Amino acid sequence: MKSVVVFKWAIDPRDIRVNADGSVDWSAVSPWVGDDDYLAVQVACSASGQEGEVTGLTLAGGDVAFAAARGAQRTVAIEGLPATADAMTVAKALAEAIHSFGDVDVVVIGDSAWEPSVPVMLGGLLGWTTVMAVDEAKFEGGKLHVTRRFGTGTQELCVSGPIVLGVAAKREEENKPGMRAVITARKKPVTTIQADELMKESVPAFTLHSTHLPEATPSRLFDGEDPDGAVSQLVQALQADGVF
Amino acid sequence: MNNDSWIIVADDVPAGSLSLIARGLGGRVTAVVVGSRERAEAAAVTGVDEVIWYAANEEIPVEAWTECIAKAAEKARPRVILAANMPMARVFVGAAAARLGAAVTSSVMAVMLEEGRVIVKRSVAEGRAVEVLEAEGFVAGMIIEGAEEEEASSVSAKITAVTDYMPENNIKVEATHVETGSADLSSAERVVSVGAGIGSKDKIELVRQLADAFHAEISCSLPLCDNYRWFDHSRVVGSSTQRISPRIYLAVGISGQPQHMMGVRGARTIIAVNNDPEAPIFGKCNYGIIGDLNKILPVLTTALAKI
> Quick one: B53 and B143 in the same domain?
yes
Q: Is A152 close to B179, i.e. CB distance below 8 A?
A: yes
pLDDT at residue number A233:
96
How many domains, chain B?
Answer: 2
Listed by number, the residues of chain A in 11-50 with a beta carbon closer than 8 Å to a beta carbon of chain B are 13-14, 16-18, 22, 24, 35-36
How far is the alpha carbon of A105 from chain B, nearest alpha carbon, in Å? 13
How many CB atoms are closer than 10 A to CB B5? 29
The whole-angstrom distance between residue B228's C-alpha and the CA centroid of its chain comes to 29
pLDDT in tens, B237-270: 886 677 788 999 999 999 988 778 878 878 889 9
Q: Is A16 close to B127, i.e. CB distance below 8 A?
A: no
Mean pLDDT of B116-135: 93
Instruction: Search chain A and give the residue with CA nearest B270.
Output: A219
> The domain that contains B78 carries what CATH number?
3.40.50.620
Looking at chain B, the whole-number percentage of residues with pLDDT higher than 90 is 66
Q: Is A213 close to B130, i.e. CB distance below 8 A?
A: yes
How far is the alpha carbon of B43 from chain A, nearest alpha carbon, in Å? 19
CA angle B31, B171, A102 (to 5 degrees): 105
Question: Residue B300 is inside which H or E element, if any?
Answer: helix B293-305
A78 vs A196: CA distance, rounded Å: 10
Instruction: Please give the full DSSP string across B96-139, using - where no structure is assigned.
Output: HHHHHT-EEEEEEEEEEEETTEEEEEEEEGGGTEEEEEEESS-E
- Which one of B104, B131, B179 has the shortest CB-CB distance to A117? B104
Domain boundaries, chain A: 2-198, 214-244
Mean pLDDT of A231-238: 96
H/E/C letters for each residue in B216-266?
CEEEECHHHHHCCCCCCHHHECCCCCCCCCCCEEEEECCCCCHHHHHHHCC
Q: Which residues contact B268 (CB under 8 A, 6 or more apart)?
A: B146, B149, B245, B246, B247, B248
B39 vs B88: CA distance, rounded Å: 14
Mean pLDDT of B162-180: 85
> Residue B181 pLDDT > 80, yes or no?
no
Helices B204-214 and B293-305: angle between axes, nearest 10 degrees? 20
Question: Residue B19 is inside which H or E element, if any?
Answer: helix B16-22
From chain B, pick out residues whose CB is under 8 angstroms from the CB of A222.
287-290
Q: Is B171 contained in some domain? A: no
Number of CB pairs, chain A paired with chain B, less than 8 A apart: 259
Mean pLDDT of B144-154: 74
- Which one of A155, A211, A225 has the shortest CB-CB distance to B132? A211
> Quick one: B155 and B283 in the same domain?
no
> Quick one: B92 and B224 in the same domain?
no
Q: Is B172 contained in some domain? A: no
pLDDT in tens, A10-52: 998 889 999 999 999 999 999 999 989 999 999 999 999 888 9
Mean pLDDT of B268-284: 92
Question: Does the CA dihedral B107-B112-B115-B118 come out positive or negative?
Answer: positive
pLDDT at residue number A107:
98
> Quick one: B142 and B201 in the same domain?
no
> The domain that contains B198 carries what CATH number?
3.40.50.1220
CB B197 within 8 A of CB B274: yes
A7 vs A130: CA distance, rounded Å: 17
> Quick one: B78 and B155 in the same domain?
yes
DSSP helix/strand/coil, A177: coil
From chain B, pick out residues whose CB is under 8 angstroms from the CB of A119.
90, 94
A163 vs A157: CA distance, rounded Å: 12
Mean pLDDT of B83-110: 94
pLDDT at residue number B90:
94
Mean pLDDT of B204-214: 95
Q: Is B179 contained in some domain? A: no
pLDDT at residue number B146:
67
Q: Is B289 close to A222, i.e. CB distance below 8 A?
A: yes
> Residue A8 pLDDT > 60, yes or no?
yes
Mean pLDDT of B49-78: 92
B148 vs B168: CA distance, rounded Å: 35
Residue B21 pLDDT grade (very low, low, confident, very high; cuts 50, 70, 90)? very high
pLDDT at residue number A201:
86
pLDDT in tens, A82-117: 988 999 999 999 999 999 999 999 999 998 878 899
> Quick one: B36 and B95 in the same domain?
yes
From chain A, pick out residues whose CB is under 8 angstroms from the CB of B295.
224, 227
pLDDT at residue number A99:
95
Instruction: Search chain B and give the residue with CA nearest A237.
Output: B287
pLDDT in tens, A105-149: 999 999 887 889 999 999 999 999 999 999 999 998 888 999 998
> Quick one: B126 and B236 in the same domain?
no
B290 vs B300: CA distance, rounded Å: 13
From chain A, pick out residues whose CB is under 8 angstroms from the CB of B182.
152-153
> Quick one: B66 and B149 in the same domain?
yes
Instruction: Please give the full DSSP string across A99-142, using - where no structure is assigned.
Output: HHT----EEEEE--TT-SHHHHHHHHHHT-EEEEEEEEEEEETT
From chain A, pick out residues whose CB is under 8 angstroms from the CB of B173.
155-157
Q: Is B170 contained in some domain? A: no
Mean pLDDT of B158-167: 88
> Residue A240 pLDDT > 70, yes or no?
yes
A123 vs A131: CA distance, rounded Å: 9
Q: Is B167 contained in some domain? A: no
How far is the alpha carbon of A12 from chain B, nearest alpha carbon, in Å? 9
CATH annotation of A2-198? 3.40.50.620
Residue B228 pLDDT grade (very low, low, confident, very high; cuts 50, 70, 90)? confident
B124 vs B139: CA distance, rounded Å: 18
Q: Is B182 contained in some domain? A: no
Asked if A62 is an interface residue toward chain B (Cβ–Cβ < 8 A), one would say no
Q: Is B283 close to A171, i.e. CB distance below 8 A?
A: no
The pTM score is 0.86
pLDDT in tens, A183-222: 999 999 999 999 999 988 888 999 999 999 988 667 899 9
From chain B, pick out residues whose CB is under 8 angstroms from the CB of A156.
173-177
Looking at chain B, the whole-number percentage of residues with pLDDT higher than 70 is 96
Q: Could you list the residue range(s) of the whole structural domain that residue B248 is in?
A: 190-305
Domain boundary among B111, B146, B161: B161
How many CB atoms are closer than 10 A to CB B215? 12
- Which one of B134, B239, B288 has the shortest CB-CB distance to A207? B134
Mean pLDDT of B104-132: 93
> Quick one: B151 and B36 in the same domain?
yes
pLDDT at residue number B179:
65
Q: In Å, how far are A137, A155, B166, B225, B230 from B234, measured between CA atoms?
A: 21, 16, 35, 9, 12
Average pLDDT, chain B: 91
